[in-house]
Amino acid sequence: MTTDLLFHHIDELLTGGDQGVLYDASVAFAGGRVRWVGPSASAPVARQIVDCHGLVGLPGLVDCHTHALFAGSRAEEFQRRLAGASYTEILEAGGGILSTVKATRAADLERLRSLLHRRLEAMLAVGVTSVEVKTGYGLNPATEQRMLEAMISTGSPVEVLPTFLGAHAVPAEYRGRREDYVEQVIRQQLPRCAPLARFVDVYCDRGAFTLDEARAILEAGVAHGLIPRIHAEQVAHTGAAAMAAGLGATSADHLEQLDDAGVAAMARHGTVAVLLPGAMLYLKDPPPPVAALRAAGVPMAVSTDFNPGSSPVRDLWTCATLACLRMGLRVDEALLGITRNAGRALGRDDLGWIGPGSSADLVLLAPPPGEPAELAVLVQYLGGHRAHHLVKAGRWLIRDGVRQDALAAGAGGGE
């Protein structure tokens, strides 16, 4: 077998699949697909060979929960929170999410597209190749739809998986009329947005939407062909995780207040627990019940929850480290949390692992200066890692640390 492009002698490779972790490993691409993964000693012949001594490899990272599309700034709110104001108080006074809604409604499609494109480039630079992005800063049919249109037309090589989150907050014009707003979400927003989205999500919590409202919205989303997911059990225990698991949700996210019954329901339905240490840090939340999730065999993913309010964190590597330090994950769990289990949270069997049949996303990184090329070092150090080589869907997008022109980079790494 002759292949196009061989990444050869990778010091340590997380395959994210059945091959686990390999040492002195190689990955071969042909025709824009992964053809072979294994020990370098038995690597196939290749037209082009890239020496990867001193580098570690992983499947392209998957950020499975973000609000990366927003306009405006919340720096002033950040300072108010440092001075003692609470996240919920600020939201109830018309700030927080609602201030981002104001700015996002005022942004046209081109502006939204450009904001998201620039953020995706920053995520790509650290090794992220697939990103879930939520709506929820429009909160009316036209802006929710425009957010989705921006997501599916960024022109970025980073794959965006769009989520409809019309039930993120009650907009100012519906203040005191939450039931009417839920009605609008179901009757007006969903029919326009569902054809552009993959998931339906609801922020179900004290101060947000109730369990019954969340169920009604998720069921309506499912009827439109969307996959349910949920913001659950963050501020108060509501039973939302178990409810969503029963509806076939691929994930329940946050989970700081999850109880044993919720853990058991998630285990029973194979629902992924998405852990969001950025929000936990900024909102000073307690940790989710990681030991119980682990004991019950619930797969755990780790994500940034990147948004301008509760988690202004873009770096997925930083979140992997915080999940270990503040939530009690092991290094191997954190690494699977930003790869394979994040792919599972998105209901995508081809994401987060590297081998024949995968999405053909590979990232190679150098350790910090003076450190050995070991995967654990990248979790030990807090963020700041940059991709040295990166292949997305078989296209070589970062080469020797330099972003290649997306249009010029040919499939299979041809010159």
Site for ligand NIG, rule CB under 6 A: 67, 96-97, 100, 203, 231, 279, 305, 307-311
Reported residue count of the chain is 415
Instruction: Please name the residue that has the structure tokens 């409604």.
Output: 105
Nearby residues of 263 by Cβ (< 8 Å), 6 or more positions away: 289, 292, 293, 296, 298
Smallest distance from the beta carbon of 165 to Fe ion, in angstroms?
A: 8
Q: Which does 309 bind (CB under 5 to 8 A by kind): Fe ion, ligand NIG, none?
A: ligand NIG
Closest CB to Fe ion among 35 and 65?
65
Closest CB to ligand NIG among 169 and 409?
169
Smallest distance from the beta carbon of 136 to Fe ion, in angstroms?
A: 8
Closest CB to ligand NIG among 68 and 375?
68
Q: Which does 59 bind (CB under 5 to 8 A by kind): ligand NIG, Fe ion, none?
A: none
Q: How far apart are CA 133 and CA 370, in angstroms?
A: 36
Q: Which does 139 bind (CB under 5 to 8 A by kind): ligand NIG, Fe ion, none?
A: none
Smallest distance from the beta carbon of 135 to ligand NIG, in angstroms?
A: 12
Q: Which does 331 bind (CB under 5 to 8 A by kind): Fe ion, ligand NIG, none?
A: none
Closest CB to ligand NIG among 97 and 131?
97
What one-character-per-residue DSSP string does 131-174 give?
EEEE--S--SHHHHHHHHHHHTT---SSEEEEEEEEETS--GGG
Closest CB to ligand NIG among 78 and 381?
78
Q: Where do runs of H (alpha helix) occur along 224-315?
A: 240-246, 260-269, 277-282, 290-296
Closest CB to ligand NIG among 115 and 267?
115
Closest CB to ligand NIG among 35 and 67?
67
What is the contact surface with Fe ion in residues (CB under 5 A)?
305
Q: Which among 363, 353, 356 has a CA at the least distance from the CA of 399?
A: 363
Q: How far apart are CA 80 and CA 178, in angstroms?
A: 27
User: CA dihedral defined by 93, 104, 211, 131, rounded to 10 degrees?
Assistant: -130
Kindly report the CA angle at 324 between 321 and 329, in degrees rounded to 5?
135
Nearby residues of 113 by Cβ (< 8 Å), 6 or more positions away: 150, 153, 154, 155
Q: How far apart are CA 152 and CA 162, in angstroms?
A: 8
Closest CB to ligand NIG among 244 and 279?
279
Smallest distance from the beta carbon of 237 to ligand NIG, in angstroms?
A: 15
Nearby residues of 134 by Cβ (< 8 Å), 6 or more positions away: 65, 66, 67, 69, 162, 163, 164, 165, 168, 201
Instruction: Please name the residue that has the structure tokens 């440092």.
Output: 82
Closest CB to ligand NIG among 16 and 288?
288
- What stretch of H or E contains 253? strand 251-254
Q: Which does 310 bind (CB under 5 to 8 A by kind): ligand NIG, Fe ion, none?
A: ligand NIG
Q: Which does 129 bind (CB under 5 to 8 A by kind): ligand NIG, Fe ion, none?
A: none
Q: Which does 348 bind (CB under 5 to 8 A by kind): ligand NIG, Fe ion, none?
A: none
Smallest distance from the beta carbon of 102 to Fe ion, in angstroms?
A: 19
Smallest distance from the beta carbon of 181 to Fe ion, in angstroms?
A: 19
Instruction: Please name the residue that has the structure tokens 């001594």.
Output: 53
Q: Which does 97 bind (CB under 5 to 8 A by kind): ligand NIG, Fe ion, none?
A: ligand NIG
Smallest distance from the beta carbon of 231 to Fe ion, in angstroms?
A: 6
Smallest distance from the beta carbon of 66 to ligand NIG, in angstroms?
A: 9
31: how many CB neighbours lie within 10 A of its CB?
A: 11
Closest CB to ligand NIG among 16 and 162?
162
The pair of structure tokens assigned to 195 is 């054809």
Smallest distance from the beta carbon of 12 to ligand NIG, in angstroms?
A: 33
Smallest distance from the beta carbon of 99 to ligand NIG, in angstroms?
A: 9
Q: Which does 100 bind (CB under 5 to 8 A by kind): Fe ion, ligand NIG, none?
A: ligand NIG
Residue number of the CB closest to ligand NIG reads 309
Residue number of the CB closest to Fe ion reads 305
Q: How far apart are CA 107 and CA 105, in angstroms?
A: 6
Q: Which among 372, 380, 360, 287 has a CA at the least distance from the CA of 328?
A: 287
